[in-house]
Structure 1
């Protein structure tokens, strides 16, 4: 984005300082004040649009990014941010136009984009615990969750989420690395609720029939005890980092915590009852239905940056193994 304002201007410095500190509402107000005197400054429209992207105020973000494009010609960053906002608002004509201008091939047609844009990892609530799960991109910036997220995330298996356009790291998937994108918000809530089951069995072979079960109203059964690992943020964002005992084999833990995505409690109960009856070494210790709200970001936290930018590499986040 072309700089069109005096970088020594005190208001300019205050606006950028507020943005860099994560004080987004304040930054937006300061950029708005500057635009009163410089309404044709593309940089200021871009920055106010960027602040409102992270505020998830999509109508304002779209308006300012489109104005920046009108004033300064095509700019990839502004076009992507406008495309994200248009997608969030369901303005499919605008979103399709912007993605094509960015050189992205799209499925033919009108309305929502429905395609296969590959497997990715999505960081849920990047302003909080930052759990990462696998997802299938159905759009340039929309993805359907393939794992059963932890209940406290507020997300569900099968949710369609809006994600940012810039990768914030990578995840190993077999022999390749796939990008990690920050989730911005849930666009479509799944019909599958999250149930937490506590079971015990003597071996992985005994657990396998439960994990492989298929039934009407059942989405997915995930062994959180075996699939969830905690990674330091340096590893999470793809920065090379060595850990002691990374390759050490883990002994089998008889007590397991499972995530079950099911449309109703009866489906989960029948699933567990049938599994328990099929083997003498199988026990069900409890089943809970957990519904939690999606946490909101706090003002003053710069959650969209990688940890190498702010020295927080020692924190950890849960990552779920590929389904």
Structure 2
């Protein structure tokens, strides 16, 4: 086995074990020994993309494609990095090489990683690499309702809701923050109709709404060779149980206004309103 082939094999092993530091070192050493070896550039572009280090990802993707223009996945990596760096003309050129992207009214699920766990949220694709968050993510995620984020093309699982399977993609980083803050509060013994009323009031006021009680959105990471399916469970809790809900708004006063209207309509109470 040649020196560069041995380096590649060792780099793959480190990469597979999650030792990115040593994998990167060996891929770069391989490039110095054999600059014509495409795989090293491809793998470096992929590693830097997953780490949201966009400039080196763009550099190595371009290098790989200069040696082999048939690499569809690397073209996609180039497109994602171009979007993340605001290089719209380059991104548009890349997307033109592929078929139609997800329609703007489609729904996908994104995986957010934080605090040693991952969270599944909902989002609407804006183009092949960007999506707008429609859920209210956990405060530890540093993401908010209507943030625009970059996501990876690869499907890493499926989120099953109302008997439909929605693809799960890895979220790669924030592109544009929304002006919404995250609030939460407890509802005292709401019925299903009470919850639907609060959701309607939030929608009418252009606020985000989500039930956080007994939520299955935040889960421990599970590694498996097969694609995982995740189930959110029942949307509504048993009646006569207190319930925690999240509301996304630009100002706390908007949340209080909606909650006051809800108490008048339903004769229910809320408590422990908190801004995160």
Q: If the length of structure 2 is used for normalisation, what is the TM-score?
A: 0.86
Cα deviation digits, residues 97-119 of structure 1 (max 9, x gap): 11222x2237xxxxxxx961721
Match of 2:20 among 18, 24, 43: 24
**Aligned-residue CA RMSD in angstroms?**
3.2
In the TM superposition, residue 7 of structure 1 has moved relative to its aligned partner by 8.2
How many Å separate the matches in 1 of 2:92 and 2:111?
25
Q: 1:77 aligns with which of 61, 65, 73?
A: 73
The answer on 1:170 being equivalent to 2:158 is yes
1:12 is displaced (CA, Å) by 2.4
Contact 1:217–1:264 (CA<8 Å) still a contact in 2?
A: no
User: Against the structure 1 CA distance between its residues 234 and 10, is the aligned structure 2 distance closer, same or farther, given a 3 Å change threshold?
Assistant: closer
Equivalent position SS for 2:82: helix
Cα 1:227–1:14 change in 2 (3 A) is closer
Residues 159-308 of structure 1 mapped to structure 2, 5 A cutoff = 159-174=147-162, 176-214=164-202, 218-225=206-213, 228=216, 251-280=238-267, 282-290=268-276
The SS at the match of 2:118 is coil
Q: Aligned residue for 2:133?
A: 145
Higher relative contact order (CA 8 A, sep 6+): 1
- What SS class does the counterpart of residue 63 from structure 1 fall into? helix
Say if 1:126 and 1:182, in contact at 8 Å, map to a contact too. no
Q: How big is the shift at 1:209?
A: 1.8
1:105 aligns to what? 100
Q: C-alpha displacement at 1:273, in angstroms? A: 2.0
3-state SS of 1:170 partner: strand
Structure 1 pair 229–127 and aligned structure 2 pair: CA distance change class (3 A): closer
Distance 1:209 1:12 in 2: 59
- The separation in 2 between residues aligned to 1:17 and 1:235, in whole angstroms, is 17
Cα distance, 1:251–1:199 mapped onto 2, change above 3 Å: closer
Deviation (angstroms), 1:196: 1.0
Distance 1:127 1:236, change over 3 A: farther
Tell me: CA distance 1:10–1:94, structure 2 relative to 1, closer, same or farther (3 Å): same
Check conservation: 1:117, 1:139, Cα contact below 8 A.
no
Counterpart position of 2:61: 65
How many corresponding residue pairs?
274
After the TM superposition, which residues 305-320 of structure 1 pair with which residues of structure 2 at under 5 Å, given as runs? none
Q: Is the 8 A contact 2:158 2:230 kept in 1?
A: no
Following the alignment from structure 1 to structure 2, what is the Cα–Cα distance between the partners of residues 72 and 239? Answer: 29
Give 1:135 deviation, angstroms.
0.9
- How has the CA–CA distance of structure 1 residues 266 and 215 changed in structure 2, closer, same or farther, with 3 Å as cutoff? farther
Shift of the 24–238 alpha-carbon distance from structure 1 to 2, 3 Å rule, reads: closer
Q: Is the contact made by 2:58 and 2:78 (CA closer than 8 Å) also made in structure 1?
A: yes
Cα deviation, residue 124, structure 1: 1.3
